[in-house]
Amino acid sequence: MSQQKVNIGLVQHRCTLNPDENVAAAIRGVREAARQGAQIICLQELFRSVYFCQIEDHKYFELAEEIPGPTTQVFQDLAKELGVVIVASLFEKRAPGLYHNTAAIIDADGTFLGKYRKMHIPDDPLFYEKFYFTPGDLGFNAWQTKFGRIGVLVCWDQWYPEAARLTALRGAQILFYPTAIGWHPTEKEKYGVRQHSSWETVQRGHAVANGCYVAAPNRIGHEAPDGGDGIEFWGQSFIADPSGQIIKKASVDQEEVIVAEVDLDVVDTQRTHWPFLRDRRIDAYGDITKRFID
């Protein structure tokens, strides 16, 4: 394997009400991904708990912790032991009354490289994240790891081409999107196929538009922490290449690890042959900072 060829792994699993069980499942997934040769491994969004944002309940703030903190340390130790890069999505307690949906980026020697705080915070039925999370204030970034330069965005960020573009402009060769998304059971029959297709398609578009790899781990299982209809998470974690082609994809409902080899030289080739970054009219984009153009 040449220096520019890297194996990336995604961990897809169910979550329970017990954080220790969830962390143990994530650790098993990381170990399995490493056993299969993965060098950069990304966990799903908020893997330490059920997706509690389905309801607004102050008790769930007890799940939050500092970053770096105890769970980050667990994965720093694991990264160092296995010699792998880990992206870990956690509920961050920054200060009393100030919380974020945050991803920790850990290098292969266990070094804490930094964190990304989710910038776009949804407030939709069963996705009441604004109750819990303050919008990120660290901007869009990329980190040079032992195995490549990666960018990290989180779930709802997936729908925003601006987020992907700005992260790519930081030099990201791979965009990771830790995710927790699924169907409302009452809507699945009517809208399910198009909803999933939209989610997958928009991210494949980010890969094309930015000439980079995109990798999105998603959880599986049905979760209803309030006893209601809940959410049926649709899994289907995937890795797409810089032309938007899916090179590895997980199932809808099985706990699994997917690992794919990516060639980072392809990023340069793709961006040279499809020179979107070269041809951008940066002199004409000032209005993008406006909410709407009347």
Dihedral (CA of 281, 284, 288, 289) sign: positive
State both tokens at 263.
């060639």
Residue of 15, 42, 155, 212 with catalytic role: 155
Longest dimension (CA), the chain: 56
Calpha distance 160→243 (Å, rounded) = 18
State both tokens at 86.
């880990």
Residue of 15, 53, 93, 118 with catalytic role: 118
Q: Is 45 a catalytic residue?
A: yes
Identify how many contiguous H helices and E strands the chain contains and give both numbers: 6, 17
Q: Is 56 a catalytic residue?
A: no
The helix (H) or strand (E) run that includes residue 248 is strand 246-249
Can you point out the beta strands (E) in 58-203? 85-95, 98-106, 112-117, 123-124, 127-128, 142-145, 148-152, 174-176, 182-183
Residue of 45, 92, 129, 200 with catalytic role: 45
Q: Is 66 a catalytic residue?
A: no
Q: Active-site positions?
A: 45, 118, 155
